[in-house]
Amino acid sequence: MQLVLGINTVTAFAYMFTYVYVITNGGPGFSTYSAEFFIYDKAFTFGQLGYASAAGVILTLIIAVLGYFQIRWITGGQQQ
């Protein structure tokens, strides 16, 4: 159960970019702008690779912390 929840959380973040890029390209305005599209846009549209890398690391940390708390919540804090 914990593994499935963790994988689905990462998948939800990872596959959102594809839909936004193909269907709306981040628009209209910024209404469908996601964190992944922000990273892509900074790196490949504006050429700000350092900024995009830093945003990618922060997004990775957010997903890792979110996954950690999800697992703690499901297991009730029990050691395994």
Can you state the percent helix, strand and coil of the chain, rounding each to 5? 75, 0, 25
- pLDDT score for 77: 66
- pLDDT score for 80: 55
pLDDT digits (tens, 9 = 90+) for 68-80: 888 888 877 666 5
- pLDDT score for 51: 96
- pLDDT score for 69: 86
- Amino acid, single-letter form, for residue 19: Y
Tallying the residues shown for the chain, one arrives at 80
Q: To which residue do tokens 């628009």 refer?
A: 27
pLDDT digits (tens, 9 = 90+) for 11-64: 887 788 888 888 888 788 888 888 888 999 999 999 999 999 999 999 999 988
Q: Where are the domains of the chain?
A: 2-75
- Give the pair of three-digit tokens for residue 14: 């990872």
